[in-house]
Amino acid sequence: MEASEAALDLAFVVDRAISIIDNIDSTLSARRPPGLKAPQGTKCSYAWPPSRFSPLDIAIIAETATRKALYGVNNNHPLNEKDAPLYPNDQDQPLVARKFLCWLSLVETKPLSKTSLFLAPVAFLAHQEREDWYRITGHKSRFYATVSEFIDYARAEFEKVGANSKHHVMGLLTPWFFEKNEIVADAEKRGRAIPISWERGCFRAGMMLRINKIREPNADPSYQVVLFKPSSPIYAGAVDQRPGRREKQDEWIDKLWQELHAGFAPQERWIGGAIHIHLYPVSRNVPPDSVEVTCELIEATMRDGSTFPTTSAEFLRRGYTRMGQYQERKPGH
């Protein structure tokens, strides 16, 4: 038997095993959420994670690998610089992005912080889409969040009052604009397991979504939504230019606006943007991709909120475009 045929047979066996596991998983009761017990050999004399984090934040931080890497980390006890996570890239698995977001929030969220960072990368518009990708991703889709989950999180954060009140909520978006059959075909062509083809070839598109709560004196709050979307030619590796990919991205963003309109009816929307000076850690011998660039912006904003634009002039100077008032499309249009 030739090597390529043997590889295909092995890939088939692996995919079959995954399918069997999926079928078994579907018959079992939901797994219990991971606990917050200190990893073996780790000592911590203070409560962790800090009580200022929401139950959803804690559930994400408590994931086994994340907890093991970050146990005890907070704004008074940061990691050594050499141990701090690099920016995730467009081929990294979701737990890599989760680890980065959790680390950044743990070290930069102070007791009176007015900004909340959503700790799971958002890749899907709805839960059904996440389920559809479950097998293709080798079960990794469950570590991504949906747009609706981010919106629910943001609404809950904005409802906090007093010292706990929040003015800004940010999230990392990492959707991809590939079809499932493309990944399956690539796996068959290369003779490897389907999840490997997803991880290495289904590049994630990095964007940052920020919702700002604006309250005028004696008025109900209104909202400003900013979508940081790095693109060519500013960032050479930020956008996949293959046929059909841009159209899928535009459709995804349009549906994102629909969800945001339903959740917040924002009075002001901005899209685009650029970073003036790159200080990203070099993890690969390639230009920064859109996920890395976006994480750089999120980190800079968490460290110093004053670096983010607040006026129309600042947004325009930073490469953003102001969008008109959202008009909901009628069926058939």
Which amino acid is residue 56, in one-letter code? L
Strand runs labelled E in the chain: 115-117, 122-124, 145-146, 168-173, 207-214, 222-228, 268-272, 320-323
Q: In the prediction, which pLDDT does 235 show?
A: 75
DSSP state of 82: G
Domain boundaries, the chain: 3-37+48-323
How would you class 59 by CB atoms within 10 Å of its CB: exposed for 0-12, middle for 13-18, buried for 19 or more?
A: middle
How would you class 6 by CB atoms within 10 Å of its CB: exposed for 0-12, middle for 13-18, buried for 19 or more?
A: exposed
Q: In the prediction, which pLDDT does 35 show?
A: 67
Which amino acid is residue 218, in one-letter code? N
Q: In the prediction, which pLDDT does 326 show?
A: 64
The partner residues of 124 in beta bridges, in order of sequence, read 146
Q: In the prediction, which pLDDT does 47 show?
A: 86
For residue 112, how far is the Cα from the chain centroid?
Answer: 24
Torsion angle, alpha carbons of 106, 114, 33, 100, to 10: -40
Q: What is the pLDDT of residues 2-12, one digit of tens each?
A: 544 544 444 44
Give the chain's end-to-end CA distance (angstroms, integer): 55
Residues of the chain with pLDDT under 70: 1-35, 216-219, 236-243, 276-285, 326-333
Q: In a 3-state reduction of DSSP, which class is residue 323?
A: strand
Q: In the prediction, which pLDDT does 80 show?
A: 86
Q: In the prediction, which pLDDT does 45 show?
A: 80
Q: List, in sequence order, the alpha helices (H) in 92-242.
A: 94-108, 127-132, 147-158, 180-190, 194-201
d(Cα 108, Cα 150) in Å, to the nearest integer?
Answer: 20
Q: In the prediction, which pLDDT does 324 show?
A: 81
Q: Which residues of 245-277 are buried (b: 16+ CB within 10 A; e: fewer)?
A: beebbeebbeebbebbbebbebebbbbbbebee
